[in-house]
Each structure stands twice: as C-alpha cells, then as structure tokens.
Amino acid sequence: MENLQLAVSGLANGCIYGLIALGFVLIYKATEQVNFAQGDLMMLGAFIALALGNDSHIGAPFWVACAGAVLAMAALGWSLERVVLRPILGQPQIAAMILTIALGFVLRFVAGAIWGHDPLALETPIAGANFSLGGLILGADEIAAIVVTLLLTGLLFAFFSRTRLGVAMQASSQNQLAAYYMGIPVKRVHGLTWALAGATAAVAGILFASKGSIDPGTGFLGIKAFAAAVIGGFGSLPGALAGGLIVGLIEPFASRYISAGYAQIAPYAVMILVLVVRPHGIFAQVSAKKV
C-alpha cells in the first residue's frame, strides 16, 4: 500500500515533468532548436495564473485565470519565436541554445522583479481536498495533474494525427525543405509550435502551482524535464510523456528506499544509463528514418 501511495504521487509529479518535456520535444521537432527556457515558461505561466486569479492580485475566477494564463503564454511563445528566434534561424544550433538559456535568465529576473523571490501559493478550488480510496489517500491536486495531462496528451495526439495543420507540423519537422516545396508556410508553423509549447507550459505551471508554492526559481524544474525528454527519446511526443513519468516515479522510490539525497541524482543517473544503452532514447523514431 505504501508503494502504491508513492507511485501515485510520483505519477502526478511525472505528469508535470512530462508536460514540460512535451514542450521541449514540440519545439525541437519543429525547429531543431532546444528551448532551454521551457521550464521558465512553465514558471511564468504559473505566475500569470496566480496574478490573475489570487485575491491579493486581480482576483478573477480560477478558470478565467487559467484560460488567461494559457492564452497569454501562447501569445508569448508565438512572439518569442517571431522576435527572438526567427532572426537566428539557419545559424548553428549552439546559437539558439545559448539564446534560450539567456531567455531563461531574463524570464526568471522579470518574474522576480514583478512578483518577488518569496514563494507564493496559487489559490485553487481544489487546494487541500483529499479522497481516500481503500487505504490510499489521493490529493485532488494529484488527480488533477494526472487527468489534465492525459486529456491534453490525447488532444495533442488528435491534433497531430487528424488535423491538416498538425500533419503539416509533423511534415515540416521531418523534412523542412520538402515542406517548403509543398507550400507549407514553415515559418508560420514554427510560430504556432512555439505558441503550443507556451500553452502547454502554462498548463504544466498551473498544475505544478496547485501542488505547492512557486517562486522564480521554479523554472529549474526544466532541467529535470530535459532529462525526461532525453530518456524518452528527444523527438518523440509519447516518449516525452513516458520519460516524465519515469522520472516522476523514480524520485519518490529512490528517496524512500535509498536516501533523500539520491532522489535528486536518480533522474540524471537514469538519463546517463539510457544514453549509454539506447543513445536515441527509449521511444526513438530514428530507426525508421531511411536516408
């Protein structure tokens, strides 16, 4: 029973890592750039929801605040691509990497300047609610994290496989030149991908904030999510989610059965192990690509 309890809380955390990892993978697949500010986008999304919804700030209803944060982050993601990343399109990958790392710093300081560096809590209607199922105690926040992640993943899956724009996004990530030849507006697709990554980050941020407090340093969670994306195989959407769940599950068990310190190291140890054994990640699609 104790193990089950650990698994549930691990899964809930893993869902959040998975959502951030999803943002990494979305942008990487579409633009071949790694957005190291993805964690900071999540942090910013959480803060915007908090600023809109908390009574001490604007005090809008919770759901309005959530929608507002998601829309604001989509707009921010779109504009970041348009203003910051598009000018360096075609430059070596390292340029985009350094740019997004710098972007992370900027977002962190902006958040710090606006909301301060002390931890703040997002007011949610589900805060503190618990259900007990048998001997198991399920937090409403944990259930929300799992359910919302499943829904969002399903939506994204349907979007990528069913809609014309989604298939075009896949197409331009698989063969950018051919996408140009087919008349797919590749640059606009990049912008929309960033918007999607921003919106996903906002959802992850709200879920994270409803499980505890946030401060501008929360964005460093992105590093753990990066490990998750690598474990899942950078470039695979289901892989990103699976990688997040793996990292989420490892943490509580490592902390329970080894020691709390090792729980911090465990995700990265697994990442290294996966890189050694299966360099393209668990869900790699690389083998299917024939040149």
Which one of 54-62, 86-94, 171-179, 252-260 is the stretch in contact with other proteins (CB under 8 A)?
A: 171-179
Work out whether 59 is an interface residue with other proteins (CB under 8 A). no
- Say what the alpha-carbon torsion angle 227, 233, 238, 244 is, to the nearest 10 degrees: -10
Q: Which of 183, 259, 276, 277 binds other proteins (CB under 8 A)?
A: 183
Work out whether 158 is an interface residue with other proteins (CB under 8 A). no
Contact 43, 108 (CB under 8 A): yes
Work out whether 130 is an interface residue with other proteins (CB under 8 A). no
For other proteins, the closer CB: 1 or 162: 162
Q: Which of 5, 57, 86, 170 binds other proteins (CB under 8 A)?
A: 170
Work out whether 280 is an interface residue with other proteins (CB under 8 A). no
Q: Which of 102, 137, 182, 258 binds other proteins (CB under 8 A)?
A: 182
Q: Where do runs of H (alpha helix) occur along the chain?
A: 2-31, 38-53, 62-79, 93-115, 140-162, 164-174, 176-181, 186-211, 221-232, 237-257, 260-277
CA distance 258 to 266: 10
- The phi, psi pair for 259, rounded to 5°, reads -165, 160
Work out whether 162 is an interface residue with other proteins (CB under 8 A). no
Tell the smallest beta-carbon distance from residue 227 to other proteins (Å). Answer: 25
Work out whether 185 is an interface residue with other proteins (CB under 8 A). yes
CA distance 38 to 54: 24
Strand-pair partners of 133: 136
Work out whether 5 is an interface residue with other proteins (CB under 8 A). no
Q: Which residues of this chain interact with other proteins, rule CB under 8 A? A: 164, 167-168, 170-171, 174-175, 177-186, 285, 288-290
